[in-house]
Chain A
Amino acid sequence: MDKKACKWLEDPGPQQEIVLSTRIRLARNIATLPFPQVAKPQDLAQVASQVRQSAENIQGPWGKLHYQPLEELGVLQRKSMVAKHLISPQLAQEAENRGVLLSPEQELAVMVNEEDHLRIQVLLPGLDLDRAWALASQLDDSFEESLDFAFSEEHGYLTACPTNVGTGIRASVMVHLPAITMVNQIKQLIHGVTQVGLAVRGLYGEGTEVVGNIYQLSNQVTLGRTEAEIIENIRSVTGQILEQEQQARGVLLGNAKAQIEDRVYRAYGILTQARILSTQEAMSLLSDLRLGVGLGLIGGISYPQLNQLVVTAQPSAVQGIMERELDPQQRDYYRAALIRERLGDKAREKGENK
């Protein structure tokens, strides 16, 4: 599973310095069958078989879709798919009649029988909303040739939860905002973002700091606006955030260059030497490392590698890679080993090149 290519973890993408990934998700349901939460097992089996059949004939730039029933996967394999953002934790919990359709490069992942019958997802590296929407919409059209989706003129695509009805679209970008956080502007930023109708999803630990300074921004409203309007809104907000983050990075370099350098190299030192690393510590050090790469202080590490390291830091990913259950102490030990191995001596001080 982990040896397979996964586009957002392999390929470079636009604005990748700050944007880790872009996701477009479309919620769709088959008109004649009840939604998954009230559906009987035979209804769910019916959904899975219809979707699977439909996918057989679908062709696109993404290659052949492969249906993976969750029943065939172990708990660890499912969890590591969650860590890679291919499926939701909700889907991973129940396996019976659940599945995921994957393209060879895993930029397409269609969850089957999650909250809705289909959750068409496109996941791309960096900020790439238009391409993600184009792919999602094309796949949606292809499904529509053989599936009859629940749709009404008035309410649009009908979904299990009224918060998704209409377009059924959730566009989201995962952004890394260490400098805005360091200059204490994150609170105002989140305030502003939610004011324009976007939801903020924070990945954070139990301690005091937001873990990894990684946020997911996504639209809240799905009804009464076109997909293009929704995407444009998130694009313009993301653009402003990128600008603010760049400005904050400039301020940090201008006012506290030595402190920032120190922080980045300490992170690099610990990540390449430590023998025990918790998820939280690893995430926070990886944030400093990514910032160091962005500021040009450290070279030799690519953004896809940094994205992979974020995934590696997750508890489930460590177990998935080691292919066995580990207790928390073991996980911290193997996490440190995996990060050391992956970081290796790829990173180097920029100064050494001169």
Chain B
Amino acid sequence: MMCEECKKRPASVHLTKIVNNQKTEMHLCEQCAQERGELGFMGNIQINFPNLLSGFFDLDQHFNVEAPPTKEEQERCSCGLSFNDFRELGQLGCSSCYRTFGQQIDPILRRIHGHTRHTGKVPRKHEGKLSLQRKIQSLRQELNEVVSREEYEKAAQLRDEIHGLEKELGGEQNG
């Protein structure tokens, strides 16, 4: 979830405030929470959220509002969203957006999560594909080794095997 105020940094301060018996929820980044004085209401308890976002999650460089959008940022995904729209909305439009804006999104993911690659659960439908990819990867490694040992007959064999698996993988992707 992005900060409601600036829509640029991830919200790390989630506040439920009760004013005149009306409950309102706020999701702010630490900076905006401080600017709005929301953290000051804690009175004598004085909760100071640490400066977690600065440095580690510093999105400022990537979300420089002042800078005019570059040509890449004006490119639109099939869902109609441009990267510039994403900056304003704080949300992507569809699953293809991750591919369309891949280059711009990876640095943001790195800043938010410290990583860019998924290591968790995989849907069952993708398990077959994933194991094919891992097989191809290990065969490619083996291929490099046999080539460096100048075992050309073995290399040709491996190449055929890799092509076969790649074909199979292509089928899976389309299916």
User: Does the CB pair A202–B47 fall under 8 Å?
Assistant: yes
How many of chain A's residues touch chain B, expressed as a range? Answer: 35 or more
* Bound-complex Cα distance A342 to B45 (A): 31
User: Does the CB pair A186–B117 fall under 8 Å?
Assistant: no
Can you list, as one digit per residue, whether each of A221-264 has a CB less than 8 Å from chain B (1) or not (0)?
11111110000000000000000000000000000000000000
Known: A34-B94, A144-B125, A225-B119. A328 touches B112 (CB 8 A): no
A184 to chain B, nearest CB (A): 8
Known: A155-B109, A162-B92, A223-B116. A200 touches B19 (CB 8 A): no
Residues of B within 8 A of A202 (CB): 14-16, 47
User: Does the CB pair B49–A194 fall under 8 Å?
Assistant: yes
A217 to chain B, nearest CB (A): 11
Residues of A within 8 A of B81 (CB): 38
User: Does residue A216 face the partner (Cβ distance < 8 Å to B)?
Assistant: yes
B88 to chain A, nearest CB (A): 12
Chain B CB within 10 Å, residue with most, of A31, A202, A279? A202
User: Does the CB pair A151–B123 fall under 8 Å?
Assistant: yes
How many of chain B's residues touch chain A, expressed as a range? Answer: 35 or more
B15 nearest CB neighbor, chain A only:
A202
* Bound-complex Cα distance A328 to B2 (A): 32
User: Does the CB pair B98–A158 fall under 8 Å?
Assistant: yes
How many CB-defined contacts (below 8 Å) exist between A and B?
200
User: Does the CB pair A149–B16 fall under 8 Å?
Assistant: no
User: Does the CB pair B121–A29 fall under 8 Å?
Assistant: no
Residues of B within 8 A of A42 (CB): none
Stretch at the interface among A63-71, A99-107, A205-213, A296-304: A205-213
Shortest 8 CB-CB contacts between residues of A and residues of B: A224-B115, A156-B118, A208-B43, A150-B95, A201-B14, A223-B113, A167-B120, A38-B93
- A: residues with CB less than 8 A from B are 29, 31, 33-35, 37-38, 89, 115, 137, 140-141, 144, 148-167, 169, 181, 184, 186-187, 190-191, 194-195, 199-211, 216, 220-227, 278-280, 314-316, 328, 331-332
Q: List 12 A-B contacts (CB under 8 A).
A: A37-B91, A38-B89, A144-B123, A144-B124, A155-B98, A163-B112, A184-B45, A204-B17, A220-B112, A221-B113, A224-B116, A328-B21
